[in-house]
Chain A
Amino acid sequence: MRRTLAKASIHTALNLTVFALIGTAILAFTYSQTFDRIAKSVEDEKFRLISQIVPQALFDNDIIKDTLQIEPDALLGNDGVTTAYRARLQNKPSVLVMEAVAPDGYSGKIFMLIAVKDNGTLAGVRVVAHKETPGLGDYIEIGRSDWIKGFDGTSLAKSDGHEVVTVPDGGTGHARLPLSNLPPAQAGEGANASLRDFHFKDADWKVKKDGGQFDYMAGATITPRAVVKAVHKALQYYDQHHDALFAEKENAK
């Protein structure tokens, strides 16, 4: 009895081991065969996305390889280290592509790729991943509507027409909005900025419903609100860290 039980156990164990080994071998082989191709697909996809928002004329470097690791920052909303891509033209910084997260979407975080030109102007924004309501809040996707292109060419307002300045604490004495890390801005103030010069003051970085400059679609204002806020903060981050972001030389990957 004891012997047969032991025999059966060993037989079963051997059987399982053999199949596990065969399975592992097949997987290892497939992995090694597809590895390069997968890496290329991922890179192509990234490049495809980046080249949508970074004009071809603005860079001549290998943008995918010229990366920078960005530590978590409240202004970017990233929880972990993210990768930023640096476009250069004749070795001069031209565009920085960084990831930003809007934490306050209608249903969870909205992940975005934001391209900022060297002068602080937005080259473009794309939503990479989100869980907003399909058919309602998902117009932030480029595949669904052109809404996201509303950011193209906008920048933080320049106070003296030369230097881009962010006002760290509202600066105007307006009451601080609760739950907002942002310089508060009161609705109404942006209304007189009807001439849309694309240099938006803090108050303009809101959807039109809140007195800002950005369109929204009826029925879903929480989503665009979150996106506008996140883009605004990302621009502030860029402004504060501009020199550091392009400081390092290309790091070979």
Chain B
Amino acid sequence: MTYQEFKDILYNGVWKQNTGVVQLLGMCPILAVSSSVVNGVSLGLATSVVMALSGAAIAPIRQVVPNEARIPVFILIIAVLVTVIQYLMNAYMYSLYIVLGIFIPLIVTNCIVLARIEAFAAKNPPLQSAVDGFAMGLGLTAVLAVLGAVREIFGHGTLLSGIDMALGESAKSLVITVVPDYHGFLLAILPPGAFITLGLLIAGKNWMNLRAERKLRGANAVAAPVEGGCSPASHA
């Protein structure tokens, strides 16, 4: 894999085809766990690892699996990986495991995982597929982090609360109280807050795209987009 290729995949995954604000895949976890930075980033990273591993695991066997059996086989592999991660988190990050709860096993049903497998890993070598999966996951993590930060600041007046669940008791000092003695803004924490914030993020991304387009008018876009995704009807 050339450096340029690597850069393109990364750019595509994190920014151009961002799962959260461009492809709009995997909305269920995005809206549900983004009530704080720590929750959002934790699930984002878990999803990234699953996507990287599933890309790496499926790309080498893409020629072995008969076409008609590929979806069940892919799902099987993703499910195995997710369950392994679930066991590991249950064993070594128990309190975080409790917080993320049902959303860890639900990574299996996250549309974005299978979408990238179908669109990328089934057609590309293992290394590229792993990078693609991880980059897509990072893009998702970034959206979850921003969403979590906005909702947490407006909702609770804090940042990084609950970090001790991920990094241990000693990390408690990392919690930042942005607005002391804040009484909370309920809407930001409730699901509508997630929708509104996500809508603003999408608008922001589109605005930046438009601006960049105007600047680049005439010039060709650099990256070759790898379109992928499932139909809107199947959004989990």
Scan residues 63-92 of chain B and give those whose CB is less than 8 A from a CB of chain A: 64-66, 68-69, 72-73, 76-77, 79-80, 83-84, 87-88, 90-92
What chain B residues lie within 8 Å of A42 (beta carbons)? 94
What chain A residues lie within 8 Å of B76 (beta carbons)? 16, 19-20, 23
> Given A27-B83, A42-B94, A15 and B73 touching (CB < 8 A)?
yes
> Given A34-B90, A34-B91, A134 and B190 touching (CB < 8 A)?
yes
B228 at the interface (CB under 8 A from A): no
What chain B residues lie within 8 Å of A12 (beta carbons)? 66, 68-69
CB of B79 within 8 A of CB of A45, answer no
CB of B90 within 8 A of CB of A41, answer yes
Cα A134 to Cα B155 in complex, Å, equals: 9
Cα A27 to Cα B78 in complex, Å, equals: 12
CB of A23 within 8 A of CB of B186, answer no
Q: How far is the CB of A56 from chain B (nearest CB, A)?
A: 18
CB of B87 within 8 A of CB of A30, answer yes
Among B65, B72, B98, B186, the residue within 8 A (CB) of A136 is B186
A176 at the interface (CB under 8 A from B): no
Cα A37 to Cα B150 in complex, Å, equals: 36
B156 at the interface (CB under 8 A from A): yes
Cα A38 to Cα B83 in complex, Å, equals: 14
What chain B residues lie within 8 Å of A20 (beta carbons)? 76
What chain B residues lie within 8 Å of A23 (beta carbons)? 76-77, 79-80
Scan residues 42-92 of chain A and give those whose CB is less than 8 A from a CB of chain B: 42, 44-45
What chain B residues lie within 8 Å of A191 (beta carbons)? none
Cα A235 to Cα B156 in complex, Å, equals: 34
CB of B64 within 8 A of CB of A135, answer no
A175 at the interface (CB under 8 A from B): no
- What range describes how many residues of A lie at the interface? 20 to 34
> Besides A37-B91, A41-B94, A134-B186, 13 other CB < 8 A contacts?
A15-B69, A15-B73, A16-B76, A26-B84, A34-B91, A38-B87, A44-B94, A45-B94, A45-B98, A134-B35, A134-B189, A135-B156, A135-B186
Chain B residues at the A interface, C-beta cutoff of 8 Å: 35, 64-66, 68-69, 72-73, 76-77, 79-80, 83-84, 87-88, 90-92, 94-95, 98, 155-156, 184-186, 189-190
| Cβ contacts A to B, 28 pairs, < 8 Å | A11-B66, A12-B66, A12-B69, A15-B66, A16-B73, A16-B76, A23-B76, A23-B79, A26-B80, A26-B84, A27-B84, A30-B83, A30-B84, A30-B87, A30-B88, A38-B91, A41-B91, A41-B92, A41-B94, A44-B94, A45-B94, A45-B98, A134-B189, A135-B156, A135-B185, A135-B186, A136-B184, A136-B186
Instruction: Give me the 10 closest cross-chain CB pairs, A-B, nearest first.
Output: A37-B91, A41-B94, A135-B184, A34-B91, A23-B80, A134-B189, A34-B87, A12-B69, A30-B84, A38-B91
Chain A residues at the B interface, C-beta cutoff of 8 Å: 8, 11-12, 15-16, 19-20, 23, 26-27, 30-31, 34, 37-38, 41-42, 44-45, 133-136
